[in-house]
Amino acid sequence: MAQVIKAPLEGVLEIFPRIFEDQRGYFFESFRADWLEAAGVTHGWVQDNQSYSQRGTVRGLHFQRGEYAQAKLVRVIQGKVLDVIVDLRKDSPTFGKKYSVILDGERNNLMYVPTGFAHGFSVLEDAIFAYKCSNYYHKESEGGILWNDPTLNIDWQVSEPITSEKDSDWPTLEEFRHSEGGL
């Protein structure tokens, strides 16, 4: 059975699968619905995504709104990333709070991110990043928070971030709060 740890932000989980190693290599179950069900999470997963990013890349902070909101189960297949989430749930006592974990292809840990969070990551070692989504991507429902928002003060642990133009154009958390109030 995997070890499931509750994070300080309600609903967020870090999961450590049981890894079996021998002279041939290793084996582990990278996903089991019963891990999440035991913690009260009962999503059906509808989409798997995978990306490759070079060291120094920062992706995010992304979310989807309304009926297209997505919970995510994220992990690194190869390499290492700093995975970051920000609570955007309108009535949450931790609205605007951030949380991060290092996901890596050696520990094979996962993070469950409920709906209502912005999600992003920085690449500490070239990485193959994979995640399950509870809902389909819907372009018109996409949103984001500026990755380098000074009020969030996220230490992405990379010296010269490589970002997309889109990720540099998202509003700050305060602009988002003023225009939308939350998710």
Which member of 62, 99, 112, 119 is catalytic?
62
Which of the following is catalytic: 99, 112, 119, 131?
131
Q: Tell me whether the omega of the peptide bond preceding residue 61 falls within 30 degrees of 0, making it cis.
A: yes
- Does the annotation mark 138 as catalytic? no
With H, G, I as helix, E, B as strand and everything else as coil, classify residue 180: helix
Determine whether 119 is an active site residue: no
β-partners of residue 139 are none
Q: Which residues are within 8 A (CB) of 158 and not within 5 positions of it... i.e. 6 or more apart? A: 55, 56, 57, 58, 122, 123, 124
CA 4, 6, 10, 12: dihedral to nearest 10 degrees?
-50
Strands 117-133 and 47-53: antiparallel
Instruction: Name beta bridge partners: 143.
Output: 63
CA 34 to chain CA centroid, nearest Å: 20
Specify the 3-state DSSP secondary structure of 174.
Answer: helix
Residues labelled catalytic = 62, 131
